[in-house]
Amino acid sequence: MSFQVQSRNLLLIFTRNPELGKAKTRLAKTVGDETALKIYKFLLQKTRNISSKVNADKAVYYSVEVRENDIWDASIYQKYQQKGEDLGIRMLNAFKNGFDTDYEKVLIIGSDLYDLSSKNIEKAFEELDNNDVVIGPAKDGGYYLLGMKKLHASVFKNKNWGTETVRKATLQDLIYQKVKLLDQKNDIDVYEDIIDIPEIMEAFINSK
């Protein structure tokens, strides 16, 4: 499908293909593979719901393969497969693709955040009016959102992805740029991340 660019802003959404035994593996160590998969599908639906309301073009990047008939409406979401040997290079390629398509602001989110809202994403785009880069810091030392107006390739290289050092190292790469930090939020990776979220606990844990 050929997409007509509607906006000067592009929202990238990185997802994992929801497969048993491959979704939320750290969470699965506590709740089991089936429950972890159900929780991840719930988070995917939530990400779809909030992103669909954002005033920007949108592109979903799949971890394994592009799926045509899934929750991501192909008339709303451009669809691509992630390419690269690690998370950083996969994000770099997605950002480069966006800027090569003449988008002025490109922003990426994941699909495992419970308390991210459409307004949070809209605010991130707005902050790029007066900043070079916007970052949504995650409690684990990484980030849940990253946006920029031109490609800063260094932020995607030489990082220990999945560790608490990522955000600090990223900010070091951007020391000469004007960076806006948004409110801190929490990715859902382990059981401790969901115990204070009644909607998840009641639907998937306490009902077992």
Domain extents in the chain: 9-205
> Residue 11: what pLDDT?
98
**pLDDT digits 0-9 by tens, 41-85:** 999 999 999 999 999 999 999 998 999 889 999 999 999 999 999
Superfamily of domain 9-205: Spore Coat Polysaccharide Biosynthesis Protein SpsA; Chain A (3.90.550.10)
> Residue 4: what pLDDT?
58
Mean pLDDT score across all residues of the chain: 93
CA–CA separation, 188 and 39 (whole Å): 10
% of the chain residues with pLDDT over 70: 97
Mean pLDDT within 147-169:
94
CA–CA separation, 31 and 8 (whole Å): 42
pTM as predicted = 0.93
